[in-house]
Structure 1
């Protein structure tokens, strides 16, 4: 079934202020290192995905909250600058917006401390209204109850559910399975896949996850590229594209967004992986999660153009 809704992707999560510090090497426990400030940026995993989707020519919006602090206006403005819909974004009175303190090493790798907003149940009428306007709902499901509420509402709205699982989201098998079973498209990074499954991301391991219900499972491997598998048994892998790494912040978000755009465009699995890896190679070459977000032409200059016949196909 082809979808014709207001938004292609509704990102379900709170935008976040990224406070970035740099050091030659990241400290270990008990160690002190010299650092320097890099800047304050608009971020948040789900918000980054929404911006990347919009930059690639698809329609997106963010369903979430900002606080009543000084950062709230900047978070909303930067979403709007990318063309992301902010109608479902609400202000939480007397609260601080979500914040992440990112420590960036000279290699481009980073460590992050995340300070979320206090959890609050979604408002059912506003959630249902937003989901009925979206083809895909995207979430990094830290809070299981909130995610299951989203998943059930998405099913009622005939909206696909895409999730991103890292080790911090699902540190063990039970946490991982409870999320995978309620999603249609599941993204992992390598650490998240190992934490949840205890296996390397090969054909057999991905096949086990697909039997739980998702249509498609995708694992990003950083410099190792990515692998993916469909419910019909199609398996694909893609090497990473060469890039000068400045900052890896947001690379996974860009990959996921580009993969979803390719999925909505009707690309085969291998082409979607290639498109995602090409987009991620642009992001790591710039400082901050969004400074290097590529448009479609930039990605296709690396990955190759999409066949014209596939344009516009959103499969549900």
Structure 2
């Protein structure tokens, strides 16, 4: 968050209220990914081989998954990114359109393969991923500026720091909040984490990403050290242990945690993306941080119960029904 302005003094809810009515509640920044999913009984060792089971090919990508989850929950969701001109591009577009994601900011790049990932799923539902991105290219400033002028919130997984600088600068010039998702592959050390957190208003970590970036397991005290870098809100998901959040209040800091909702885990792919989108959708509806954590955890319990990142994406009514039926 820009400490040279009064941006950091505003609560997230107050800031979001000022942008109500824009075309995009959430504008996801990133390239959609083709997920090639296989089931395995054990991870291969270096130089080794295991037998896998083809489980399917689906549209994926962390920010694209979040865009679909947000749209499914009733937000006006858009996708800013690229696909190639290969056979996968049509599938990626169709998989986003299926959930009602606005594709007007998604462009095609000639003579280029779309992004893809090989996801290997273990019997307990845990996964390992090999990600193959599209070639890096600077985002067209004029096109991005126009998109962000119509957005309340921009959401990104910022592998490229220069892209995040551009996104953050333009978003703030239009009063849009910036939310980022940091995994260990994105910010593997303190330096990478600090550079990215300083450019965001809302920061999501999974447990491994938090530990890698901060150098300590997630706790209220460790999260406070991240909040001191500038964002207004820090959220950490801890898989089966639920999630926790630390928020900058009007004159203090507020901590909340939420246990995970019970679920029969089939595939954890996309659970964090669903949680993040659901948490943000709750904030955009004016809920407080504690209620947003509960809504996010309830939504994620639907995703892990189905194969693939999007097969179990719930509606708002389905999430609210789960919360009504569960006392945690």
TM-score normalized with structure 2 length: 0.91
- Give the deviation of 1:160 after TM superposition: 0.2
The CA RMSD measured in Å over matched residues stands at 1.0
Hey, what's the Cα distance between the residues in 1 that align with 2:111 and 2:164?
Answer: 25
> Paired residue for 1:298?
318
> Paired residue for 1:93?
110
Hey, what's the Cα distance between the residues in 2 that align with 1:31 and 1:286?
Answer: 30
Aligned: 1:7 with 2:24: yes
Please tell me whether the aligned partners of residues 26 and 104 of structure 1 are also in contact (alpha carbons under 8 angstroms). Answer: no
**Divergent runs of 4+, >6 A:** none
Q: Which residue, 288, 291, 298 being the options, matches 2:308?
A: 288
Q: What does 1:1-316 align with in structure 2 at a 5 Å threshold? A: 1=15, 2=17, 3=19, 4-232=21-249, 233-304=253-324
- Give the deviation of 1:88 after TM superposition: 0.3
- Give the deviation of 1:112 after TM superposition: 0.3
Hey, what's the Cα distance between the residues in 2 that align with 1:284 and 1:69?
Answer: 30
Return 5+ residue gaps in structure 2 as ranges. 1-14
- Give the deviation of 1:67 after TM superposition: 0.1
- Give the deviation of 1:121 after TM superposition: 0.3
- Give the deviation of 1:211 after TM superposition: 1.5
Please tell me whether the aligned partners of residues 52 and 257 of structure 1 are also in contact (alpha carbons under 8 angstroms). Answer: yes
Alpha-carbon displacement from aligned partner over 1:265-287 (angstroms, at most 9, x marks no partner): 11111111000000000000000
> Paired residue for 2:9?
none
Report the 3-state secondary structure (helix = DSSP H, G, I; strand = E; otherwise coil) of the residue aligned with 1:234.
Answer: strand
- Give the deviation of 1:199 after TM superposition: 1.4
- Give the deviation of 1:35 after TM superposition: 1.0
Worse overlay, 274-283 or 194-203: 194-203
- Give the deviation of 1:212 after TM superposition: 1.4
- Give the deviation of 1:31 after TM superposition: 2.9
Hey, what's the Cα distance between the residues in 1 that align with 2:76 and 2:248?
Answer: 26
- Give the deviation of 1:25 after TM superposition: 2.0
Return 5+ residue gaps in structure 1 as ranges. 306-316
Hey, what's the Cα distance between the residues in 2 that align with 1:130 and 1:303?
Answer: 35
Hey, what's the Cα distance between the residues in 2 that align with 1:136 and 1:303?
Answer: 26
**How many positions carry a matched residue from both structures?**
305
> Paired residue for 1:310?
none
